[in-house]
Structure 1
Amino acid sequence: MTEFIDPVLTFIADNPSLAGLICFLAAMGEALFLIGLFVPTTVVLVGAGTLIGLGKLDPVPLFIWTTLGATAGDAVSYWIGYLFKDKIKSMWPLCKYVEIIERGEAFFKQHGGKSVFIGRFVPGVKSVVPGIAGMAGMDFTRFTVVNVTSAFAWTVAHIAPGIIAGSALDALGQVSTRLAVVVGALLVIVFLAVMLGRWLILIILPLFPNTHAVIIKGFARREDRVSQWIARNFDPAHPRSAGMLASAVLLLITMPAFFWLMGEVAPGEPMVRADLAILNLFDSLRTPAGDRIMVFMTTLGDGVVVAAVSIAVAAYLFLRKAWRRGTGFAIAMAGTALFVPLFKLLLHRSRPIELYAGADAYSFPSGHATLNAVLFGICAVLVAHDLKRWAKAAIFTVTATLVITIGFSRIYLGAHWMSDVLAGLLFGTAMVSAFAFVFGPIHNEKIGRTTLAGIVAATLVVFGGWHLSRSFDTALATYAPHANKEILTASGWRDTSWRFLPSHRIELNGDREEPLVIQYSGSLEAFAKTAEKAGWQLPPKWSLTTAGGFVEGETPPDSLPILPRSQNGRQPDLVLIRKDPGEARGGRWVLRLWPSRYEILRGGHLSPLYLGSVVHEDILRPMGEFSGPKTDVEVPDAADNPALLLPGAATRKRADGVEVVLSSGRATETLSARP
């Protein structure tokens, strides 16, 4: 897919037996009694299927290994249940998950032997059903037949989507590698958010009751009203106490995080530099197909669509006479709608591009991210209310995917800085947590979950589709990539403007790194040819062979590929290396030239201006078994800066004493040696 991921894919593709073993262990781990709750098998198997779709793996061995792993895991679980019987419920830490075991027993009692097949596909019980079959004394021969059959079907269900996804990504990569990178990045972000939520709901909360009970007993001993209220409402015996406590904790985390982030977007802070770097990164990855996808999502999250869904939800709640929840929902949405422009006017932070007028012309926080997080988050709370944990996980997974994708679209399209979207998601999550905390204990207001979910989906589809049909083309033009180039005259650059260009490389996290000691306006090919005369050469490309050099202790410095470095979100257009002379195992110099947003006007023609660094890397060889580059010199001596080899090159000295080489690559244009 990309030159950075390709070595990993090549390694796995060249070692199918290792890939098969990994899939075997993952499938077996998910099938083990209760342990399967902790094993992220889905990402492993979907990833393996993706590699098949990309043509990196042979499907037949992978299917066999995965099926065998799933079969073995269920067999082990069966024997655990058969040997320990009901003792399992009192064994630590299995005793923390008695509710899941009892749910598995009820499932097995309802479906009998076929529950082994069905249960493999049901979240929340699939990791316990084989053990329950053993506890119930199910005939092992019959169990084995069902086990093998279900394992094969389960393998197909998990690997096939990956194959489809891999084929799609391969097709996207053939159309545009940049589009494939954007789609892959979005999938990774959504996956991480969903997995964290899933682990919180399905794994962490069941471990909490004992600690929960100890804390509540401490409050119960106090006689003041606040302590008694806490003890009464957060009593572990209360069926909704765990949810209320989780909401309270989430509120206490997200709200301070929002105000911390607000302080980090002050001018000069690292977050501001990180925002610009990430904006540049996505700007370099934009494609027409990616633009259409992201404009679709951002239009679906527009204020008119949010208003339509909000009115439909509020109307339903009041018609069902759910007065308190309806009022709470209306207050949350109205409060958020007032909060967003208030903070925009308070901070006056400019957007990356000009879009709206009034308060909406400002950037922090993102209205799309905030309003959609509150709207769909509260709807998810209402729909998931009092459902089982796996059902809650499924509902919040769908909600998080939608909200995160809308927020992601704002960053991709350059409508907001990354910190704007993060702040919106944090505040939105805090509002949802506050709603769940206040209105979660209510049990006498009956709401049809399916009806409410249907109303939200129908309104989103109907009204959102109508809005898209009217405004999609206009939005596509509005969010079209904007050229952000600044033109400098050749004389102005040589005399004064060079001082105001970036002095240090900026990482994606906003940190200042090594100084930028080259400003070059000319042909990269000419630069490379001139530097070649002094021993500079192109570095080896990433491949299985070159990547393997990092785990060998005798790899020469000029045989190791270059680790990626970005400047303000941009990747270098030219990378050159030069091995230390006379040393077989010494270090190397590394030159990188990054594109800037500046162009030099010379003789009626524009030339891009590149900014570059020259650093020295010492090759560390711990225990003689590895080769790892470490930067030990960030400012080269004049003799080690290859830009001085170019015609017309001259040096300038910054206020911090660092010398910068300016060159246009033209012999006829001599730069005066001004200080």
Structure 2
Amino acid sequence: MSQWLDSLTTWLSSNPQWLGFAVFLIACTECLAIVGIIIPGTFLLFAVAVLAGNGALSLGETLALAYCGGLLGDALSYATGRYFHQDIRRLPGLRHHPQWLAGAEIYFQRYGVASLLVGRFIGPLRPMLPMVAGMLNMPVGRFIAVSLLAAAGWVIAYLLPGWATGAALRLPLPEGFWQQAALLAGGLALVLFFSVHSSLREQRHASLLAAGLSLLLLFGLFIGWPRLTPLDQGLLALLQEQRSASLDQLMVLITRLGDLNNQLAAGILLCLLLALARQWRATLFAGGTLLGTAVANGALKAWFARSRPEVLLEPLGSFSFPSGHSSAAVAFFLVLGVLAGRGQPARLRLAWLLLACLPALSIAVSRVYLGVHWPSDIVAGALLAGSLCALSLSLTQRRTPLVALSAKVWWLVLPACLALLGVIATWHLSAGQLLYRY
């Protein structure tokens, strides 16, 4: 496979006019029933994203092409299931590998709409679930709505890292950038590996381990952030190069989702709704995480007193390290992800957390894009929120695990909180755009 992949990337490097089509086609096949299991689409997507980031395609073009390709793969898979119904088991490939369909069918019947959202990030399930949805007559409108949402998160998670790598290879970055990037990425990878490993093994103190590892890396950032200038300046320059008027408007909207007042309102609403539903331990967990993160972030900002980048025409007056938007967003969405995963298998709990991290990551990246934070600020903010969320969960589950929220409670909590965030974020949006002029 390595030789074949090298040949493909070499050919695309020599023929960049075909790169956009390759991104679209690979994304489509990665989400296409049966084919997506056979073809190593994840590796191919990363490879073509690196080539795109190296100057052939802009970030917006890369994400848009992959998004459309993924949607086409979903639609073809759904249509196949809808057309063949139970006869689909006789199709080539499924006759000899019935477990491919059986696993996705069990997953879909157990979790319904949520399976399409979360299963998008689980390799063997991703291409099969849309076909199962069609086979079991999921309404077309509902499938389209879920597919549009899931594909958006999927392209960010799967294409953005590769594109950013390609762009970083192209730019003249400061000396020491790659060493610092490797060191920080290695630290984050170790935290994620041991946290995920302990969760999958259902270890009793998995949350406490995740909190401890996150705090350990956070303390490293507390000590080392003054020495991360090459990394901070390089990543900031990388994102500033992508600025455009249309993307500026989108990023201002995204960043307003993480504004203090917005997050405060959403957090209070979340806790009130959980309390009204008599979910006392969930209320304690959510309130402890959100309040602890807000207090700790404010104290740390005052302690380190780090200046912001000088990008805006009128720089913000508050301190920079750690990022308040990053910590607040990660805390809020992680709380939702943790609550969504209660009572479910470990892999599904982790997938819910991954899904919850996507909007938080978007808010964090928007802060660097808009030039109001250094990259190390948002990493520190995310680690702070993640460690306090894990610690709060560990304390809340000290004796018995948190129980799963009922569907009735979820349909009360989730739409209300997200709607409130959306309304407040779009309110006086033009004033926000003036604030971030550069």
Q: Partner residue of 2:386?
A: 429
Give aligned-pair identity as a percent.
19
CA distance in 1, matches of 2:95, 2:423: 49
Out of 340, 355, 370, the residue aligned to residue 413 of structure 1 is 370
- In 2, the alpha carbon distance for the partners of 1:478 and 1:122 equals 39
- Counterparts in 2 of 1:316 and 1:349: CA distance versus 1, 3 Å: same
1:105, 1:475 → 2: CA distance? 44
- 318, 322, 336: which one aligns with 2:275: 318
Residue aligning to 1:252: 212
What are the within-5 Å matches in structure 2 for residues 155-554 of structure 1? 185=160, 209=201, 241-242=202-203, 244-266=204-226, 269=227, 271-353=228-310, 355-357=315-317, 361-389=318-346, 391-440=348-397, 442-443=400-401, 447-448=405-406, 451-452=409-410, 454-470=412-428, 472-481=429-438
Contact 1:382–1:449, Cα closer than 8 Å, also in 2: no
Structure with greater helix share of residues: 2
Which structure has the greater CA radius of gyration? 1
**1:366–1:416 contact (8 Å) kept in structure 2:** yes
Residue 411 of structure 1, CA deviation: 0.3
Equivalent-residue separation in structure 2 for 1:338 and 1:302 (angstroms):
15
Q: Aligned pair in 2 of structure 1 residues 126, 402: CA closer, same or farther (>3 Å)?
A: closer
Q: CA RMSD in A?
A: 5.3
List runs of 5+ in structure 2 lacking aligned partners: 1-9, 50-60, 81-89, 126-130, 136-143, 165-184
Q: Matched residue pairs, number?
A: 343
Distance 1:418 1:315, change over 3 A: same
Sort the Cα spacing of 1:264 and 1:443 in 2 relative to 1 into closer, same or farther, 3 A: closer
Q: Could you say if the C-alpha distance between residues 184 and 291 of structure 1 is closer, same or farther in structure 2, counting changes exceeding 3 Å?
A: farther
Q: What letter matches 1:421 in structure 2?
A: I
Distance 1:315 1:417 in 2: 34
- Equivalent residue in structure 2 for 1:77, among 91, 97, 103: 97
Aligned residues of 1:104 and 1:125 also touching (Cα < 8 A): no
Quick check: 1:312–1:456 contact (8 Å CA) kept in 2?
no
| Aligned-partner residue type, residue 273 of structure 2 | Y
Task: Return the offset for 1:433.
Answer: 1.4
* Aligned-residue offset at 1:317: 2.6
Whole-angstrom distance in 1 between the partners of 2:271 and 2:350: 24
Task: Give the partner amino acid of 1:460.
Answer: L
Q: Distance in 2 between matches of 1:328 and 1:276?
A: 37
Q: 1:453 to 1:413 in 2, by over 3 A?
A: farther
SS in 1 for 2:278: coil
With CA pairs under 8 Å and 6+ residues apart, which has the higher RCO, 1 or 2? 2
Cα pair 1:349 1:363 within 8 Å, conserved: yes
Corresponding letter in the other structure for 1:480: R
Output the CA distance in 2 between the equivalents of 1:337 and 1:378. 14
Report the Cα distance in structure 2 between the residues aligned to 1:403 and 1:307, rounded to whole angstroms: 15
Q: Conserved in 2, the CA contact under 8 Å of 1:322 and 1:446?
A: no
**SS, match of residue 344 in structure 2:** coil
Q: Aligned-pair distance for 1:28?
A: 5.6
Higher strand share: 1
Q: Distance in 2 between matches of 1:395 and 1:424?
A: 21
Determine helix, strand or coil for the equivalent of 1:74: coil
Matched residue of 2:329: which SS? helix
CA contact (8 A) 1:28 1:71 kept: no
Which 5+ residue runs of structure 1 have no aligned equivalent? Answer: 82-99, 112-117, 129-145, 151-156, 170-180, 210-240, 482-675
Hey, what's the Cα distance between the residues in 2 that align with 1:469 and 1:15?
38
**Contact between 2:239 and 2:369, CA under 8 Å: does it hold in 1?**
yes
Write out per-residue CA displacement over residues 25-50 of structure 1, whole angstroms, 9 at most, x where no aligned residue.
Answer: x9768547xxx9x9748958998x97
Give TM-score scaled by structure 2 length: 0.61
After superposition, the Cα gap between the structure-2 partners of 1:319 and 1:44, relative to the gap in structure 1 and judged at 3 Å, is same
| CA distances 1:469-513 after superposition (whole Å, capped 9, x unpaired) | 22x1121111112xxxxxxxxxxxxxxxxxxxxxxxxxxxxxxxx
* Contact kept in structure 1, 2:340 and 2:404, CA below 8 Å: no
Note closer, same or farther for the CA distance 1:39–1:73 as it changes in structure 2 (3 Å cut).
farther
Shift of 1:408: 0.4
- CA deviations on 1:80-126 (whole Å, 9 max, x unpaired) are x7xxxxxxxxxxxxxxxxxx99x849939x89xxxxxx99x977999
Verify the 8 A CA contact 1:328 1:435 in the aligned structure 2: yes
The CA deviation at 1:276 is: 1.9
The residue type paired with residue 466 of structure 1 is I
CA contact (8 A) 1:297 1:406 kept: yes
The one-letter code sitting in structure 1 at the alignment partner of 2:215 is M
1:303 to 1:127, Cα distance in 2 relative to 1, 3 A: closer
Q: How far 1:380 moved relative to its partner?
A: 1.5
